[in-house]
A and B are shown apart, each in its own frame.
Chain A
Amino acid sequence: MRRLNGGTSRGVVLCMEFSDANIGEVLARADEASLDALDFGVIGMQRDGVVTSYNAYESRMAGLSRTRVMGKHFFTEVAPCTNNFLVASRFEECAVLDEQLPYVFTVRMRPRAVELRLVKAHDSASQYILVRPR
């Protein structure tokens, strides 16, 4: 983790990479501006699946605005194609989760190969899906 100056009006931007080992901790502390600065998609949600953060990259990719997605249940109301044993079930089954898997997301009505990283820390109230193109 590094501190960068002049990112947003709030002054401090947390910087991270898709593959950072401690990404769970960083995400938990990151503000909206930090998430929007990332070059990969981040969907943060409560343990019940209700979306609490939706960054700019993901919003652009899916074509859905943040306000449309926030507060909705991700696996049933936003992306039912992730409500399966590969994604949603992993969050239910595991108390602690950090795994990467190849997946297909629909990007502007075309199926695109992506890499998913599913993150759930033991002591966190949130869980995250990270998305980047393959």
Chain B
Amino acid sequence: MIPEHDLHEEHEALLEFVYLCPVGIAQLGANGSVEMMNPVGARVLMEIAARPDIENLFESLGTAGLELRALAQGMTADQGTICEAHRISFELPRRATPLTVSFTLIKVSPARLMAVIADVSVSVEQERGARRAEQRVRAVFDGVRDYAIFSLDRDYRIDTWNRSAERLFGYPAEEVIGRDYLMLFPRDPSSTVRHEDVTNGAIAGGWAEDEGWWARKETTRFWGSSVVSVVEEPDGGRSGYIVVTRDLTRKKREEDDLRDAASKDFLTGLSNRRAFEETARQELQRWQRGREPLSLLMIDADHFKRVNDAHGHGTGDDVLRALARAVQDQVRELDVAARLGGEEFVVLLPSTDAVGGRAAAERIRTCVEALRVTAPDGSMVRFTVSIGVAEATRDAASVELLLQRADDALYEAKRRGRNRSVVAHAVDVTDTPSRVAG
């Protein structure tokens, strides 16, 4: 026999246990009548019900009660779960956010239901907040028209790709996901350096900016201004990168146009003297640091004054434009062709020695020799050029000296009869046969 005293103690301990239970629990009759309910259950229901002394769960909760009753009555089996964590939200005038209550009803026997009643408003709000944040991010992610957003895993493989990225790059997501993002860079040796620069910058500072060309799926490219951010794990590790890029091709073109306006010769479209001197200084500095040779061509149209006098300035301009085109056509992309003024042109040839310079000069000379410009009177105007070639050497290591030396060689070419090229200070100067100057 258990002593009466112990039973009493146990009963009290049980009561206390139920009072302290942090979720609402209740025992109901089949019709919803409250037979037992702990304080938390009462407190939750008190918030919703009009009457504080809840006699019947189904009757005191309005439409929510009807909903629960329908669930309970829909259960034909003698026992089982009627509903599990069934959430019902209540808009209450004194609350800013709805009260959401989770009801679990279990039919223990045809006459008895057990209920778990929990206020889950806080977690519902948290879930809603998280969902809203996700939707907002999704809306920004997919909705931004001007910004391509994509992310990379830690090995620079693309793992997300938004609609703007599809538009901007021309790749649908399935063609880029999982691939190395270097595919988006132009096929150019400098792309690797650029990729390393920006990712190293991002790793060092959390994010880095990048400006440069991106390659589209089609052969075209666009000028993008980008921010690359490191995605950090909670433990401080690096899980990947987010790249946000914006097409600034139009702005880049405008800037280029402005720069062109300041650096281009208006008549021929070649560089002007100022731009040439700037580039030449940079190339000479590079030449001094490195081992690659550097050469310069000084080109002058022969007897240009005669063209002007015979056919007018308009034809003279046409001749200069044709000459400029010929020069541009005969040199490489990296060479810098400029008009210094009047009928005088210059070409800077990086990585080219005097022999290579001479060859370029001869290509230009023979090309010009074959040109014909139509004058207003219908006559065909022919013309020639004389070219001085100079290679940068220790004793001619400035732009001025190099120009001077090429000019001397040009003078020598003129002196020897024009329509020829002469290499400055070269021992094996080979003269080209003189022809009729234009």
Contact = CB atoms under 8 A, between A and B. Distances in A.
B114 to A, nearest CB: 13
A65 B10 CA distance: 12
Interface in B26-61: 34-43, 45-46, 51-54
B22 interface: yes
A79 B12 contact: no
A112 B39 CA distance: 10
Contact of A80 (B11, B20, B34, B36): B20
A103 B52 contact: yes
Nearest to A106: B39
Contacts of A104: 42-43, 46, 52-53
A81 B12 contact: no
A77 B17 CA distance: 10
Contacts of B45: 111
Given A63-B15, A68-B12, A109-B18, A102 B52 contact: yes
Interface residues of A, number: 21
Contacts of B53: 104, 111-113
Q: Classify the interface of chain B: helix, strand, loop or mixed.
A: helix
Contact of A111 (B15, B16, B18, B37): B37
Given A80-B22, A102-B52, A104-B42, A109 B12 contact: no
B37 A79 contact: no
A70 interface: no
A64 B12 contact: yes
A88 interface: no
Contacts of A54: none
Contacts of B40: 80-81
Contact of B19 (A80, A111, A112): A80
Nearest to A63: B15
A109 to B, nearest CB: 4
B20 A110 contact: no
Nearest to A78: B19
B95 to A, nearest CB: 12
Nearest to A77: B20
Q: Classify the interface of chain A: helix, strand, loop or mixed.
A: mixed
B36 A110 contact: yes
Interface string A59-74: 0001111001000000
A111 B46 contact: yes
A57 interface: no
Interface string A33-77: 000000000000000000000000000001111001000000001
B119 to A, nearest CB: 11
Contact of A110 (B15, B16, B34, B51): B34
Given A79-B39, A81-B40, A106 B46 contact: no
Contact of A68 (B16, B20, B46, B51): B16
B36 A109 contact: yes
Most chain-A CB neighbours within 10 Å: which of B18, B19, B34, B54?
Answer: B19
B396 to A, nearest CB: 90
Nearest to B24: A81
Interface in A11-40: none
Nearest to B54: A111
Nearest to B46: A104
A81 B43 contact: yes
A86 B132 CA distance: 32
A64 B16 CA distance: 8
A64 B15 CA distance: 8
B12 A106 contact: no
A77 B19 CA distance: 9
A113 B39 CA distance: 12
B38 A106 contact: yes
Contacts of B20: 77, 80
A98 to B, nearest CB: 22
A65 B16 CA distance: 11
A5 B39 CA distance: 39
A63 B54 CA distance: 20
29 contacts: A62-B15, A63-B11, A63-B12, A63-B15, A64-B12, A64-B16, A65-B12, A68-B12, A78-B16, A78-B19, A80-B19, A80-B22, A80-B39, A80-B40, A81-B19, A84-B43, A102-B52, A104-B43, A104-B53, A105-B39, A106-B37, A106-B38, A106-B39, A109-B35, A109-B36, A110-B36, A111-B45, A111-B46, A111-B52
Interface of B: 11-12, 15-16, 18-20, 22, 34-43, 45-46, 51-54
Interface of A: 62-65, 68, 77-81, 84, 102-106, 109-113
Given A63-B15, A64-B15, A102-B52, 7 more contacts: A77-B20, A80-B22, A106-B39, A109-B37, A110-B35, A111-B42, A111-B53
The 10 A-B residue pairs whose C-beta atoms are closest, nearest first, are A81-B39, A111-B42, A109-B36, A113-B53, A106-B39, A104-B52, A113-B52, A81-B43, A63-B15, A104-B46
